[in-house]
Structure 1
């Protein structure tokens, strides 16, 4: 199997780290094509990180001739690129490299550049390596044409990280790709995410790598080398994410008054992320619903294990939670008032809210969440 086809199985974070290490060591292929996925959503951050590592390594070499172009710029230097591919620089020792970022539209509009890149990759006197970043759905033809370089080319596709745990570990938030990425990046910064912390970080920061990196840098500034799940939640307690967790706890505990009071406060003051970003209505709704759904899912997993006869520590462990500490105590307290009926009502309320917005096309508003609270609370009172 050629190098142009061999990257398939590993998660995007692992593949990115491997390429960054190879770039730092000067071991990139003659033609590296950073492409969008054939399925799923593109994540340009990974390709940008690889290009940054390659750029830093090349610039650290005093006699290295690097042509660094942005194909998405207003006026990319086509003449300079063609000249670079055809002849060696008179001012270098012969070692050359090319970085062509955001090249999808450029190569689609200037198709003659594609065979020139392929030929340069096959030419023994060509650049030591070339890193081409593509993006967008219309770039697949360019990817195929560049892969014609055969063993000289390596095509790497980057999609977004999965934020949900895999089907075989559905109740372990730390098992998601995004949580694994956060844990690996934390280790690279000398930080340790204790059990539950990586999953909690994904819950509050999302699964985008740039957001997770920003969150980790924030915790690094706090000076704690070991970060517990409770620490993640404590840091975000007064933020939008903290309000979302408080809302979820109130709904699951059947405290309709507290949940409605919190929504009123959000309506009056708005929501601001712990990273400083003010959330719009759609983002606020998505955050509140997402965290409520996640907390309900974890609570349901613990409840199901208890109903099968497991003791609380075993049930917590099965749900991917620590068997002791503040998180366990909070779950134990929640379970005193959260039975299977309430969990089902909350799930029904979540589905109803999402259907009203996504299917019926109603505008985003906190009124939809207020109806969710009333449904979950009043349903229990009628019994």
Structure 2
């Protein structure tokens, strides 16, 4: 793989390739031209902040090394009309100054919630920031979503992307160990957004990384209750009133969490009393197998998103706490205006011996891959 420095403000690379065709869906386009543009748009904590545009001729993904952000995903509908399908601000610079509910962010060190904002390792208790009631959420007050990552652009004959690295020092946000993390975010020739993480530590620690993009396949015209979801999941982990897992692993049969056949989201939200913010179980044991976990279809536009992951769970969140949020292009994001599919370990796993362990030891390597694959149905 060839790496290109981002010291220049722009780079463009092109080639023509064929898209793979899926049996039940049409490829969005037959030819692609891989290109990447990099532009410094700000400075934060003495480090340059870049905006990147990845383009394969069919779809575009915009991102930044601030927070490992995905800021836009622009894909065509069944008529070829291209629209952004990710909740966002108008500019990257706004992420530096405006509070937001983790739009497009890389969440870490530990994504999701840790009950009581503390945990124990080898008899020692580590205190964390209480930034979500009595609990910690998505890494604390200044998680990975607020850090400037060191970037490089890269390409090969099938992908174009940005490699980012960040060293989280021992004690940052209360977590032990110097943790070195590398993040790759790339666009493929066959319309997949691929996100890969690798981490290593010099002390025993806990780790759970994900991306927190909010999707709306309809292009921000209304909420996402008209989307159709199918999950290949036979269980979920129930939560208490503070959204902390109880430790139970529950069969979805006979519950609103049963998406094993396609369901319209709004109907399931109503059945569940207001929305979802729960871990859906992909696997009971860790493995490096990529699993087709969920398909989301927007009947009106024809857009389809298939998500694959090698992790053990996905936090399914339906924007329950969005309320009158001023987003990009003059749009106001309301309740259920977007959904998140956060591939990760099961939440609060450090407090549940029956959950897959979040512990990372020196000499081990944390690896995690997510793919969002886009297509259209006519």
Q: Do both proteins adopt the same fold according to a TM-score greater than 0.5, normalized to the shorter chain?
A: no
Q: Which protein, 1 or 2, shows the higher relative CO under an 8 Å CA cutoff with sep ≥ 6?
A: 2
Q: Say which structure is richer in helix.
A: 1
Q: Radius of gyration: which is bigger? A: 1
What is the TM-score of this pair, normalised by structure 1? 0.26
Q: Say which structure is richer in strand.
A: 2
